[in-house]
Amino acid sequence: MNTDRTDRTARTDRTAPTASPSGPLAAADDLNRRLRTRRTEPAANPQLEALALAVTANQPVLLWGEPGIGKSAALEQLAAGLGLPLETVIASVHEPSDFAGLPVVGDDPAVTGVPMAPPDWAVRLARTGAGLLFFDELSSAPPAVQAALLRVVLERRVGSLTLPEGVRIVAAANPPSSAADGWHLSPPLANRFVHLDWTHDPRTVARGMAGTWPEVTVPVVAAARVAGAVARARGAVSGFLTARPGLVHHIPGDAESRGRSWPSPRTWEMALKLLATGYAADAGREALAAALTGAVGDGAGIELLSYLEHLDLPDPDRVLADPDAFALPERGDRQLAFLIAVVAAVQSDLTRPRWEAGWAVLGKAVEAGVPDVAARAATDLAAMRHVDWPVPPGIDGFLDLLQMSGALPGGGR
């Protein structure tokens, strides 16, 4: 009897259907493979460029759009263009412990503590050292899950594991009106993202059905531009916020707006990184504008863009190389941004010749009769002085100010 049962089982295994190129679905599989074949072509697409810019700047991005318009497909294309593995996590189907970690009790918790075990996707990203982490359906995640995601997005902590800096974070959300069991994003979570509106272009979709889609243009940060880009961005953002202090922090009044982008010290730091990356990568104006307004909101972002349009700061490193060849801008706001940028450039590569050149630039404010504009920059520059560096002639117009503030203790000429 036992032998007979064994024989019947063996016969069943031999006759079970197996997939083969000549099976009944072979032609259908070949058809689908052909439909998946596509090509890409260069095309101006500001929303794709803004996404790539924010990812290059390593700022968390949140794509807002209706279901089925290609948010996930854009992430797959971007990951391929960057050469990064893509880890997709559906936020709405997870529990808070999936992001905060599950407690793992060891032999002696009183001595070793209780570590929080991370999920498998976090371990894979940590092993790889880089990747694109995609949280989908974020607006369908309940408030408890959103709270657990706070540390993941801002601190890159998943349980007891810290994600490497090479991991970029992108999320996607549907408006609450079209999301399944949709929720407004909590203000603390919303304020951790660059928000980009994701729409579809009917002409692009029509061309895509013919097999051709626009390619993602990945911004390339030029090493030679990095120092100057950082200094220019610091001067621009600091100068703007000095002129408009009321825009440093403003929480919207309604729940829907609080779940999108709004200005805060955190998002202004994001805007600074986006602007510096845009300068260093020579990003397009539309893409940079979308990224900046996505960080600090439409109101503050539009004012910043207007300010930048008329700012036109020169490269601070070129100014420091030949201070006498540059004149101080005439407008007060441009003067302030220009001087802040010069001091930031000195700080990024501090040497005595560059420090002395910085004082030569600040001296132009004294010559122009506006030493008050350069007062803060002079205080910062004086604080960088090495004890064995003599006081340069350009500092004369600021001596009283610096001695009163204590920024230049002792050490005469």
Q: Look at residue 297 and tell me whether its pLDDT is greater than 90.
A: yes
Tens digits of per-residue pLDDT, 339-377?
999 999 999 999 999 999 999 999 888 888 887 888 888
Most confident of 141-150, 261-270, 322-331: 261-270
DSSP track, 193-223: SEEEE----HHHHHHHHTTEEEPP------G
Q: Look at residue 337 and tell me whether its pLDDT is greater than 70.
A: yes
Spatial contact of 339 and 231, defined as CB atoms under 8 Å apart: no
Q: Which region holds residue 284: left if phi is over 0, alpha if psi is between -120 and 50, else beta? A: beta
As a residue count, the chain comes to 413
Tens digits of per-residue pLDDT, 79-127?
988 899 999 999 888 888 888 887 777 666 766 677 788 999 999 999 9
What are the structural domain ranges in the chain?
Answer: 61-192, 316-405
Architecture of domain 61-192: 3-Layer(aba) Sandwich (3.40)
pLDDT band at residue 44 under the 50/70/90 scheme? confident
* Average of per-residue pLDDT across 292-317: 92
Q: Which pLDDT belongs to residue 56?
A: 95
* Average of per-residue pLDDT across 144-172: 92
Q: Look at residue 408 and tell me whether its pLDDT is greater than 60.
A: no
Question: Is residue 404 classed exposed, middle or buried when 0-12, 13-18 and 19+ CB atoms within 10 A define those classes?
Answer: exposed
What pTM was estimated for this model as a whole? 0.84
Percent of the chain with pLDDT over 70: 88
Q: Tell me the average pLDDT of the chain.
A: 85
Distance CA 335, CA 242 (A): 12
Tell which wins on pLDDT, 201 or 248: 248
Distance CA 317, CA 204 (A): 42
Q: Which pLDDT belongs to residue 280?
A: 96
Distance CA 369, CA 324 (A): 17
Q: Look at residue 77 and tell me whether its pLDDT is greater than 90.
A: no
* Average of per-residue pLDDT across 221-246: 93
Tens digits of per-residue pLDDT, 23-35?
889 999 999 999 9
Tell which wins on pLDDT, 182 or 184: 184
